[in-house]
């Protein structure tokens, strides 16, 4: 089912969307809009696991259209995380719409991969410096270190802190606080076992 967007629900629906949302800006008096609509619906059905299709009738979304600079229709815009990423204007054949959508999604994935890689590198660099200052080292297995850094970032996104991926987060701030990496037990574990529980820090 195609999502109908208006000035009233536009921001809320964009925030709520768990996938990129492809918005068809149209109007009842726009004949090309009626030509493009079934093409978009057919292609969107093929991509239903990757995107959400939405329609914004300019008669009910004038404020949004003005804010986004929608001055020609039909205009199709792909949004990710509530922000416009890419789009096109005018009627396109089905094959061209499919190709454009593939390219837009590929660009989003490439940007996310690049961003994730940058974040992981920053996390590793920070813990590398911490280890050196405190007389131990990072796990010599780079693959393990990257996996742990990814887990720390996922916990930060999910819980708001970089909790150790190997310790259970219960949701109680006081109880969970010692689990923030470097955790409260890492020094003792390194001394006793030669490495911390998750294996991020190793004894020199």
State pLDDT tens for residues 53-99. 999 999 999 999 999 989 899 999 999 888 888 899 999 999 999 99
> Annotated catalytic sites, by residue?
30, 33
Give the pLDDT score at 114. Answer: 63
Q: pTM of the prediction?
A: 0.57
Residue 187 pLDDT level (bands cut at 50, 70, 90): very high
Which DSSP symbol is given to 2?
Answer: P
CATH class of 133-203: alpha beta
Those residues whose C-beta lies under 8 Å from the C-beta of residue 168, and which sit 6 or more positions away, are: none
Local structure of 24: helix, strand or coil: strand
In angstroms, the CA 174 to CA 133 distance is 27
State pLDDT tens for residues 7-18. 999 999 988 888
How is the chain split into domains, by residue range?
A: 3-92, 133-203
Q: Is residue 156 within 8 Å of residue 162, measured between CB atoms?
A: yes
Local structure of 161: helix, strand or coil: coil
- Look up the CATH number of domain 3-92: 3.40.30.10
**Sheet with strand 52-57: strands edge to edge:** 3-5, 52-57, 21-26, 75-80, 83-89
State pLDDT tens for residues 90-127. 999 999 999 999 988 888 777 766 656 668 888 899 99
């Amino acid at each position: 089912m195609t999502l109908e967007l208006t000035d009233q629900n536009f921001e809320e629906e964009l925030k709520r969307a768990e996938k990129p949302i492809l918005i068809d800006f149209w109007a009842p008096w726009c004949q090309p809009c009626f030509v493009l609509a079934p093409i978009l619906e057919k292609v969107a059905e093929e991509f239903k696991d990757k995107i959400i299709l939405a329609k914004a009738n300019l008669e009910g979304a004038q404020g949004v259209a003005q804010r986004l600079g929608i001055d020609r229709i039909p205009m199709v815009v792909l949004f990710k995380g509530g922000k416009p990423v890419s789009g096109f204007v005018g009627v396109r054949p089905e094959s061209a719409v499919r190709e454009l959508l593939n390219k837009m999604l590929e660009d989003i994935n490439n940007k996310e991969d690049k961003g994730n890689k940058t974040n992981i590198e920053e996390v590793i660099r920070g813990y590398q410096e911490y280890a050196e200052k405190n007389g131990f080292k990072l796990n010599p297995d780079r693959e393990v270190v990257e996996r742990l850094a990814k887990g720390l970032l996922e916990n930060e996104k999910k819980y708001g802190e970089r909790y150790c991926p190997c310790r259970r987060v219960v949701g109680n701030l006081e109880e969970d606080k010692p689990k923030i990496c470097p955790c409260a037990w890492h020094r003792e574990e390194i001394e006793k076992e030669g490495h911390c529980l998750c294996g991020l820090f190793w004894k020199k």
